[in-house]
Structure 1
Amino acid sequence: MTTTTVQTDTQLASRLRLAVMRLARILRQKAQDQITPSQLSALVSVERDGPVTLGELAALESVQPPTMTRIVVALEEQGLVLREADPADRRIARVHVTTAGRKLLERNRSRKTAYLASRMRGLSAEELEVLERAAGLLERMTADER
């Protein structure tokens, strides 16, 4: 790989990083729910991987257990998750998503998808094909991350 190629790859990586960050910020704003990004991330993890213990959820979210406890308490206060004793070991509490939590996630996803779909309507067929290929590449690049 030449110096020019490395520099070009670095420049492309920088542009991609900035675009992804902007898009993530815009999508967070479009969600318009009274929930913090940390709470939303935890709620998504509970929906995807739950029911989970606080320790498991902290590991999934890469935060310390006391931090996750605060996040889960806030989600409980909003009625978005529920902690219940594990039937196999009543000393262990497992976090579940409530119906209200599922509705919030669906509303959140719908708003974000609608925003992206509206922005994509302004693209040409050729641009949409490029975007479809780029989405596949991004999915492949992040497939082993979680």
Structure 2
Amino acid sequence: VWFTKPVSAHRDCDKCCGKVTLWNRGDEVLRVTARKDEWGEVESYDGKPGWICNTCRFDKKKMSDWTIEGPANINRHSVISTNHYVGAQKPAEFLPELMGGRNPKMLMDIHDVSDVNDPKVDLSLLPGPATGATFTKKQEQ
């Protein structure tokens, strides 16, 4: 929960209300949940029940499938709201300015020496949980 960014989103769906809370990290949707009120009950919209269909919940795992409304309203006392600041500005990169306009040299790419977190594997597109079979070791050449 601490690394995800919950946002309110919606899509036009003929089966359900289509209004959800997306839990994402970058452009990767990790979880899709129904919007809930302060008591944890699913909200209803326009006379439709607030539940979401299986298509919206399990098949629409790309950010491009959804229209983002903004950050989800999380209670400030909840642990979920930790490090989720609305309107926070990312500090500017100071290193190139410090080095006279030159970019720093990348001495090592971690993916050249490690099989962990292969950037070619999109975890949200896997049909189930990631296992050892998902990340097979490179053949020694």
- TM-score with structure 2 length normalisation? 0.27
- Which structure has greater strand proportion? 2
- Which structure has greater helix proportion? 1
